[in-house]
Structure 1
Amino acid sequence: MSKKLRIGIIGTGGIAKAHVNAYKKLPYVEIVGVADVIAGKALAFAQAEGLTEAAPFNSHTELLRMDLDGVSICTPNVSHHITTVDALRAGKNVLLEKPMSVTLQEGLDMTRTAKESGKMLTLGFQPRYDPNMKLLQTIVQSGRLGNVYYVETGGGRRRGMPGGTFINKKLAGAGAMADIGCYSLDMALNTLGYPRPLTVSAYTTNHFGTNSLYHPEASKFEVEDFGVAMVRFENDLVLQFKISWAMHMDTLGPTMFLGTDAGLKVLPAGTGPWSGVWDGSVGSITLFHDEFGGHTSTPIPLVEHQLNLFDCKVHDFAEAVRDAKPAPIPGDQILIQQAIIDGVLRSADSRREVSVELPE
């Protein structure tokens, strides 16, 4: 195409800078507008990022009146629903930062609006672009493990609790489950082909977040900093999901895929108190299997790469818009994990197993 893609940025927090940097690397893209609800912030952001041709706005609705091919939505969680729905109804394709929404009903509204508008809604899960995440999916879906009947995923930071909007229930919807748990769920569910969940039994706590010894905003802390859940799926598959922003432990263990013919153990990359969750790359993959009547294990060689995964997700969105391709990470898929997180919170509140509410 000869005409450049016209892109708008909604929300000018730290993550918006990463979107801008990625778009700048694409010669067929121009950022023509920036919006933020805080007066003057859009203009300051555009100036700071060298977006001399981008018009600043104090509301996303003003930005959406422009001739745009797509928008990156980089707002706090509470704004994801309204900005996404408004953008889709205005005929714009949407790249939305995670998590998808505050509530399951909001997520349903967003995916329905995407279908009705005929526009793309794609979610920003950049770890999917790691070649080793793709390798993991290839191994599992090749049938090498046989029938996969149990999966364990999640992760924990020894200390890694955010503040501000992240700990306000009305603004964030959930805490660690939505913030870093969404990556763990996507890593496991995408590997499995996003099976349909049936029930959830869960437990959550916020012992650390509400303790002033561990968090400076303890009096304002309203969400979970730890959670664990057993999720049942169709085809007699179960998944143990566990996540923590803070704990007196170095790890919550590896991700595991247990199959009738073999098992797979996966460790995340990185070290230190903020590592141990699936928001980055793969550290190692090991296949456990029997050969000639004996137990053995095989390290799976990792794919070496220098990819900037964040750039990959932005580039994939832009290319999908340019070439009229399907959404790279469609909202319909991520709605499934929204339903699981919704089930986790309902189960933890009621102290019983609950059904996952996901319409056909």
Structure 2
Amino acid sequence: MTAKVRIGIIGTGGIARAHVAAYRKLPFVEIVAVADVIAGKAKEFAEREGLTEAAAYDSHTELLAAELDGVSICTPNVSHHRTTVDSLRAGKQVLLEKPMSVTLEEAIEMVQTAKETGSMLTIGFQPRYDPNMKRLQDIVQSGRLGNVYYVETGGGRRRGMPGGTFISKALAGAGAMADIGCYSLDMALNTLGYPRPVSVSAFTSNHFGTNPQYHPEASRFEVEDFGVAMVRFENELVLQFKISWAMHMDSLGSTLFLGTDAGLKVTPAGSGPWSGVWDGAVGSMTLFHDDFGGHTSTAVPLIGHSLNLFDEKVRDFAEAVRDGRPAPIPGEQILIQQAIIDGVLRSSELRREVGIELP
């Protein structure tokens, strides 16, 4: 009998519970360790989740000394860099929850460490596992749109501001940009094949988060709840990126791909005040083109499925560990969106366009 893939979970907040649930559905995986920096929290988590065979530690370094094949990193954003680098250097394969890091410099070191050690670093963007995301990528990369010269992506919640660690600049690094904006960027950039950005001009604000009328933790709200940016790329492509945790509007619009031969409009699935962003599935796709001497639009049929996208993300990582495959969503790609988010924040602070430099 083949030995099971031995997994450790670092960080025991809400997202860690989703990882446990997903791993439990995989008969070839065993959760053998959990860790949290708050004394006793890992032990409480293991007991609550019924992980009777899992060792509990009060630091990730103790966990990494155990016999493990891979780890899920489910800590606050500020801890992503240190726990990832330490895990890679300990020879563990890493599934890291988004966003990748707080700063661009941290992301660069994480990617470099993965290359130096030969350990896998994959970032958790479960919307990629919607088969309609693959259909979208196939349409754009097939050349059906011609030369894609403009993309508009992002999304907005009428009301959908989190609290806790999400609104602390020291712990999260950024607000809506990092929390839900990273999904929008991955959706567009992965479709395009992750082109290299060269500059960004951006504006951010936090009118809602800092107002006690809209947020119960307004006095400690330190990050942006809205942002918009124009990003230029090497290949004469421009991307308009916009994101909002809260606004007096029902939507910031669809994602658009404008090409010289056709255009594609894509809407996210879901409804309600916390929807309207690319953290889930595709709602619709429409192709706009000219045929028979006139303007024509074609609804792109969606692929029906019953996949749990989060479970698919965890399964793909676990199978990659088992089979020795490369990272399903490599850090080298997500480094590019980290560079864009870093540029957005710098541009907003300086109130001018800034360059983006990648190693």
The interval holding the TM-score normalised by the smaller chain is over 0.9
Q: C-alpha separation between the residues in 1 aligned to 2:268 and 2:29? A: 33
For residue 343 of structure 1, give the secondary structure of its aligned residue in structure 2: helix
1:105 corresponding residue in structure 2: 105
**Structural mapping, 1:122-271, within 5 Å:** 122-271=122-271
User: How far does residue 207 in structure 1 lie from its aligned partner after superposition?
Assistant: 0.5
For residue 91 of structure 2, give the secondary structure of its aligned residue in structure 1: coil
Deviation per residue, 1:265-286 (Å, 9 max, x gap):
0011111110000000000000
1:307 corresponding residue in structure 2: 307
Question: What's the TM-score, normalizing by structure 2?
Answer: 0.99
Question: What's the TM-score, normalizing by structure 1?
Answer: 0.99
AA aligned to 1:61 is T
For residue 72 of structure 2, give the secondary structure of its aligned residue in structure 1: strand
AA aligned to 1:269 is A
AA aligned to 1:37 is V
For residue 256 of structure 2, give the secondary structure of its aligned residue in structure 1: strand
2:32 corresponding residue in structure 1: 32
AA aligned to 1:238 is V
Q: C-alpha separation between the residues in 1 aligned to 2:338 and 2:22? A: 27
For residue 235 of structure 1, give the secondary structure of its aligned residue in structure 2: coil
For residue 240 of structure 1, give the secondary structure of its aligned residue in structure 2: strand
1:48 corresponding residue in structure 2: 48
Q: C-alpha separation between the residues in 1 aligned to 2:221 and 2:48? A: 33
AA aligned to 1:214 is Y
2:289 corresponding residue in structure 1: 289
What is the root-mean-square deviation of aligned Cα atoms in Å?
0.6
AA aligned to 2:167 is I
1:21 corresponding residue in structure 2: 21
AA aligned to 1:108 is I
Deviation per residue, 1:91-136 (Å, 9 max, x gap):
0000000000000001011111101110000000000000111110
Deviation per residue, 1:126-166 (Å, 9 max, x gap):
00000111110010001000000000000000000111111
User: How far does residue 357 in structure 1 lie from its aligned partner after superposition?
Assistant: 2.1
Deviation per residue, 1:194-218 (Å, 9 max, x gap):
0000000000000101111111111
Q: 1:340 and 2:358 equivalent?
A: no
Q: C-alpha separation between the residues in 2 aligned to 1:286 and 1:84? A: 40
Q: C-alpha separation between the residues in 1 aligned to 2:92 and 2:326? A: 14
User: How far does residue 90 in structure 1 lie from its aligned partner after superposition?
Assistant: 0.4
User: How far does residue 48 in structure 1 lie from its aligned partner after superposition?
Assistant: 1.2
Q: C-alpha separation between the residues in 2 aligned to 1:88 and 1:115? A: 10
For residue 72 of structure 1, give the secondary structure of its aligned residue in structure 2: strand
Q: C-alpha separation between the residues in 2 aligned to 1:28 and 1:225? A: 41
For residue 239 of structure 2, give the secondary structure of its aligned residue in structure 1: strand
For residue 95 of structure 2, give the secondary structure of its aligned residue in structure 1: strand
Q: C-alpha separation between the residues in 1 aligned to 2:270 and 2:308? A: 16
Identity %: 82
